[in-house]
Structure 1
Amino acid sequence: MSSSRIPRRGLLVIDMQHGLFNGAHRPYRADDVLANINALIDRAHAAGAPVFVARHVGPAGSPLASDSPLSQLLADLAIDPARDTVFEKTRPNCFFETGLAEGLAAGGIEELVIVGMKTDYCVDTTCRAARDLGISAVLVADAHTTTDSPVLAAKTIVEHHNATLRGTFVSLVASADCTFAAG
Structure 2
Amino acid sequence: MHALLILDMQVGLVHGPEKPWRSEALLSTLNALMGKARKAGAPIFLARHIGPAGSPIEPGSPLTELVQELQLQGDEVIFEKSRPNAFAMTDLATQLREHGCDGVVIAGMKTQYCVDSTCRAARDLGFDAVLVADGHTCADTPELSAQAIIAHHNATLAGPFCRAVQAEGWRF
Q: What's the TM-score, normalizing by structure 1?
A: 0.92
Partner of 1:4: none
The alpha-carbon deviation at position 79 of structure 1 amounts to: 2.1
The alpha-carbon deviation at position 140 of structure 1 amounts to: 0.3
Deviations 1:114-165 (A, max 9, x none): 0000000000000011111111110001110000111000000000000000
Partner of 1:153: 145
**Correspondence for 1:124 among 116, 128, 151:** 116
Deviations 1:58-110 (A, max 9, x none): 11221111211111100111222x31100000000100111000111111102
Identity of aligned residues (%): 51
**Correspondence for 2:14 among 16, 21, 30:** 21
| Correspondences of 1:63-102 after superposition (within 5 Å) | 63-80=56-73, 82-102=74-94
**Correspondence for 1:33 among 26, 31, 39:** 26
Uncovered stretches (5+) of structure 2, i.e. residues with no partner: none
In structure 2, what residue type is equivalent to 1:154?
A
**Correspondence for 2:38 among 41, 45, 53:** 45
Q: What's the TM-score, normalizing by structure 2?
A: 0.97
The alpha-carbon deviation at position 25 of structure 1 amounts to: 1.9
Q: Distance in 2 between matches of 1:111 and 1:134?
A: 8
Q: Distance in 1 between matches of 2:88 and 2:102?
A: 19
Answer with 23-32 or 113-122: which moved more.
23-32
Uncovered stretches (5+) of structure 1, i.e. residues with no partner: 1-7
Q: Distance in 2 between matches of 1:179 and 1:78?
A: 19
SS at match of 1:143: strand
The alpha-carbon deviation at position 47 of structure 1 amounts to: 1.3
**Correspondence for 1:103 among 71, 95, 105:** 95
Q: Distance in 1 between matches of 2:71 and 2:115?
A: 19
Partner of 2:155: 163
SS at match of 2:45: strand
SS at match of 2:75: coil
| Superposition RMSD in Å | 0.8
Number of residue pairs matched by the alignment: 172
Q: Distance in 1 between matches of 2:108 and 2:87?
A: 15
The alpha-carbon deviation at position 48 of structure 1 amounts to: 1.1
Partner of 1:5: none
